[in-house]
Amino acid sequence: MLKDVRDISLFSAIAGADSLSAAARQLGLSLAVVSKRLNQMEQQLGVRLFHRTTRHISLTDEGQIFAIHAARLLDEFDAVENALSSRKGNVSGTLRITATHSLGRRWLMPIVSDFMQQHESLKLQFNFSDEVIDLAESGFDLAIRFGALNDSRLVARELAPNRRVLCASPAYAERCGLPQSFHELAVHTCIGIGESAVVEWFFGAGEEQQSIMVNPRYRVNNGEAAHELALRGAGITLKSLWDVADDLRSHKLIEVLPHQPLSAAPLHAIWLNGRHQPLRVRLFVAQLKTALQSAWHNRVLSQ
């Protein structure tokens, strides 16, 4: 019999992480404390919940059974928290979010600011990074990202549509012309985002999806830098419509290959699978979805 119901949240954090050290960082506890509490849990229950190696942990059969019931219990605790919080009108703690520079600065900061003003007891930690942050390692509640998931540890909730475009400046178009098919991108100057020397750009969807490998002349690790290079006529880059819609409308940028659309990459809120989400996170995601969908239709797509 468990003696401390907080151990259910401890178990959930460990189950969502790759290692005890990652779970300890999420919980703000030392590795020794997490290991001791897990050992106590297993002794109290009389079963082993995790297989452990020096690098990774995984659920045993008994651990998988416990995980199902733990999730139900956390849902019940959620219901109690919701009922009490709604009566008091209180949301507290620290909201920890990571997102790309351009999306975070332009679109998310106003929404975050409104949310924080509604909940005066709340604190914020916001990380601006174009790198994909490991949520298990970093302890962030949410990542706001474009595109699909490649990690089974994560859960994604779609927030708003998005369309990616290839774009270049009128000066580049006048100097170098524009490609008439995606295969012609190989002979154009391209601007890549990320560390890879070769960038793969995807067109179409489903069975009709195709891709082209591009060897960019420019490589930057920041989407805003790629945007600025494109505005200055350096070459062709791939950007979200959220980032470049205004420049396309004002003709500072030209859409390249508009009749050969790139694969869709909707905007998602992403969190660790199995992690108990506090009320502040759930309320913020709901408000974020409403605000971003309104912005997409009324501002990004506006003529």
Q: At what angle do helices 241-249 and 223-231 cross, to 10 degrees?
A: 20
Whether residue 285 sits in one domain with residue 136 = yes
Among 113-122, 128-137, 159-168, the minimum mean pLDDT is found in 128-137
What is the rounded distance in angstroms from the CA atom of residue 37 to the CA atom of residue 51?
A: 16
Local structure of residue 265 (DSSP, 8 states): -
Residues 116 and 128 in one domain: yes
Confidence of residue 294 (pLDDT cuts 50, 70, 90): very high
Is there a single domain that holds both residue 173 and residue 230? yes
Q: Is the pLDDT of residue 187 over 60?
A: yes
| Average pLDDT, integer, range 160-172 | 95
Q: What is the mean pLDDT of residues 71-87?
A: 64
Q: 77 lies in a domain? A: no
- For position 206, what pLDDT does the model report? 74
The answer to whether residues 295 and 107 touch, using CB atoms and an 8 Å cutoff, is yes
Q: What is the CATH number of the domain that holds 124?
A: 3.40.190.10
* Residue 34 predicted with pLDDT over 90: no
User: For residue 133, what pLDDT is reported?
Assistant: 83
Angle between helices 6-15 and 61-88 (to 10 degrees): 120
Kindly state whether residues 103 and 242 are assigned to the same domain: no
Pair (249, 270) in one structural domain: no
Total domains present in the chain:
3
Q: Rounded to two decimals, what is the model's pTM?
A: 0.70
Report whether pLDDT(1) > 70: no
CA–CA dist 206, 22 (Å, integer)? 36
Task: Locate the DSSP E strands across 91-173.
Answer: 93-99, 122-128, 142-146, 154-160, 164-168
The residue range of the domain holding 237 is 164-255
Model confidence at 78: pLDDT above 70: no
Query: Residue 53 maps to which CATH number?
Result: 1.10.10.10
